[in-house]
Amino acid sequence: MTQPPWRRERREHFPGVPAWSLATSRLAPEEFGVSRLEDVTREWAWGGDGAGGDGTGVDGTGDGVAGRADGAGVRVCVLDTGVDGGHPRVGGLERSLVVADGEDLTVVDCDPVDPVGHGTACAGVIRSIAPAVSLTSVRVLTDGRSGSGAALLAGLRWAVEEGFDLVNLSLSTTRSRYLPELHELADRAYFRRCLLVASAHNMPVVSFPWTFSSVISVASHDEPDPMTYYYNPAPPAEFLARGVRVPVAWRRGREIRSTGNSFAAPHITGICALILSRHRWMTPFQLKSVLYLAASNVVVSKGGAHVRA
């Protein structure tokens, strides 16, 4: 399969046409083979209500795919407290990095460790749903609850420029001075086909970036099934996923049960990875639409009767 257009070098500008345009009289528009979003079901989206499978059978458009998706070929970045790459629930990392202190914040490689456990928990949830996904950790938080806004911006900017398919953000900031740059980064990610999955704040306060329309925003429900999620008709939190008493990986190889929107977001990130591994040319707009159509509470009209999708 050739690379999608958004992963290639930008086409040269044609004199005589406005910026961002294409002189189609001289260069034909590229055919864009994408899956039609008709009759979207979980079976169509990722192969059913479980994870796993061999990930084979993917063609250039994502149509006619056989087997259950497992996240193969999808790159996910976890911006958090770091990730313990040796934890059994994580199963290894592609890379581990940290935003280094200094006058100019830089993102540098580091040991795959997590002094807190929060990032390890999120990575373990993603792996449990999409076992073949490629995981990278960028540490932007220090004590599990706080970090500098500058570090968050530096880590997110790096992840967007690196071209990850998905970025899991189980964090947010209430500080409005970071709003303009954070908003610009979220929009840049969207147009680079890098989808941000952000957890809602655990308190009823306004924070960012989960309130941006260019991201997938996630809050919790209290059911035990990791593959059950709901569309929320009253945003800003668009989706509800498992986030109450979730069994998660923790530091020093432990496992605990924890509650929070932080753990709802990686459930949706994992499901997004399943969908993308089956439909590699799907854009963020389409992916969000598929999530909506495959949600457990969305019904479709068939001959006048509404039934579960």
Give domain status of residue 52, yes or no.
no
DSSP 8-state symbol, 208: B
The domain of 164 spans: 69-303
Give domain status of residue 166, yes or no.
yes
At 125-169, the pLDDT tens digits run 999 999 999 999 999 987 655 678 889 999 999 999 999 999 999
60 pLDDT above the threshold of 70: no
Transcribe 119-172 into DSSP letters: HHHHHHHHHHHSTT-EEEEEE--SSSS---HHHHHHHHHHHHHTT-SEEEE---
Give domain status of residue 261, yes or no.
yes
Distance of alpha carbon 263 from alpha carbon 144, whole angstroms: 13
Give domain status of residue 8, yes or no.
no
Burial 230-241 (b: 16+ CB within 10 A, else e): bbbeeeebbbbb
Overall average pLDDT of the 195-216 stretch:
92
- Lookup: tokens for 226: 């990791």
Task: For residue 246, give every residue at least 6 positions away whose Cβ sits within 8 Å of its Cβ, in sequence order, or none.
Answer: 125, 257, 258, 259, 263
Distance of alpha carbon 169 from alpha carbon 97, whole angstroms: 15
Is the pLDDT higher at 213 or at 29?
Answer: 213
264 pLDDT above the threshold of 90: yes
Give domain status of residue 191, yes or no.
yes
Distance of alpha carbon 35 from alpha carbon 285, whole angstroms: 13
Phi-psi region of 60 (alpha: psi -120 to 50; beta: other; left: phi over 0): alpha
Transcribe 284-304 into DSSP letters: HHHHHHHHHHTSTT-EEEETT
- Lookup: tokens for 73: 């070929």
- Report how many domains make up the chain: 1
Report field, pTM of the whole predicted structure over 0.75:
yes
Give domain status of residue 56, yes or no.
no
Question: From the CA atom positions of the chain, what is the Rg in Å?
Answer: 19
Specify the CATH number for the domain of residue 198.
Answer: 3.40.50.200
Out of 40-54, 59-73, 252-266, the most confident range is: 252-266
Instruction: Give percent above pLDDT 70 in the chain.
Output: 78
Give domain status of residue 236, yes or no.
yes
Give domain status of residue 85, yes or no.
yes
Instruction: Specify the pLDDT at position 64.
Output: 41
The residues that are catalytic are 80, 118, 262
